[in-house]
Amino acid sequence: MKLFFYHTPEAVPPDGSPNLAIAIDVLRATTTIATLLAAGAEAVQVFSDLEALTHTRESWAPKPGLRIGERGGQKVAGFDLGNSPLDCTAERVANCRIFMSTTNGTRALQRIQDTPIVLAAALINRLAVVQYLHQHQPETVWMVGSGWEGSFSLEDTVCAGAILDSLLAMEQQPLKNLAGNDEAVAALALFQSYQHNLLSLLEQASHGQRLLHLQLDNDLKYCAQTDVLDILPIQREAGILVSWSLRSSNPKQTGSGQI
């Protein structure tokens, strides 16, 4: 198994295809996706375009559904929810199809949606991702950070490093056997430097600063946690993520909607 890390969707090689790809947007899309599925959402369908999202939501009616929209860290006017994982309670989202568009994270998911297996990772579900990799042993894995509008982000890089660090321990392999590029090695070094103070790193990150300016301190605290959700979002069909049960090795479809 070889893990490659790419800082942004734009950095992903135009040619070639991995066996498995992982989208990472710690602040906050993939954290929110994992939280939504943990709270019982039926599925999360992602969009880069708000108009396409609204049209698809309208065609989904009258089935239960909610629109999540975020631009620049703030909720899109007229949408049901913004991109805060703290708003994703079971009372609000259980059995609902979630139609979601964010500034960066949904772009990363769409960039890799043609990969045979697509996962969504954050710090909060790091162990679930690593357990899946350990069980299934994909030959080539691309970890794709969302960044911020095409630029490097500390939070996605440290998450990629956290995944590699845990996988190294589980596989009992030397780094040279698992790291596919220099970016993966650098991500591991960042995680090992900050693993006991991840909140501090997220507060230093440029997007963390934006969220603090918006008084979303509690979002940062939530996103900085590791291994608190046993939830693995996996792509069931292009752009649609459901929860994978590690115990049964089958995707779980919550709710009654057809995927």
Domain of 150: which CATH number?
A: 3.90.1560.10
Which segments of the chain does DSSP mark as H helices, in order? 29-38, 50-60, 90-93, 105-111, 126-136, 154-171, 175-178, 182-194, 198-204, 206-213, 217-223
Q: How confident is the model at residue 249 (pLDDT cuts 50, 70, 90)?
A: low
Has residue 149 been placed in a domain? yes
- Residue 63: closest CA among 28, 102, 97, 100: 97
pTM, two decimals, is 0.93
141-161: average pLDDT: 94
169-198: average pLDDT: 97
Quote the pLDDT of residue 246: 67
Quote the pLDDT of residue 256: 30
Query: Is the pLDDT assigned to residue 149 strictly greater than 90?
Result: no
Query: Is the pLDDT assigned to residue 252 strictly greater than 70?
Result: no
Has residue 252 been placed in a domain? no
Has residue 249 been placed in a domain? no
Neighbours of 128 (CB within 10 A): 20
Has residue 30 been placed in a domain? yes
Has residue 154 been placed in a domain? yes
Has residue 219 been placed in a domain? yes
How many separate domains does the chain show?
A: 1
Residue 161 lies in domain: 2-244
Q: Could you tell me if 89 and 7 are in contact, meaning their C-beta atoms sit under 8 angstroms apart?
A: no
Q: How confident is the model at residue 255 (pLDDT cuts 50, 70, 90)?
A: very low
Q: How confident is the model at residue 187 (pLDDT cuts 50, 70, 90)?
A: very high
- What is the dihedral sign for C-alpha 149, 150, 152, 156? positive
- Residue 246: closest CA among 161, 135, 167, 156: 135
Long-range contacts of the stretch 246-255 (C-beta < 8 A, 24+): 246/128, 246/131, 246/132, 246/135, 249/135, 253/42, 253/43, 254/37, 254/40, 254/41, 254/42, 254/43, 254/94, 254/95, 255/40, 255/41, 255/42, 255/43, 255/64, 255/94, 255/95, 255/96, 255/97
> Which letter does DSSP use for residue 255 in this model?
S
d(CA 188, CA 179): 9
Has residue 223 been placed in a domain? yes
Has residue 63 been placed in a domain? yes
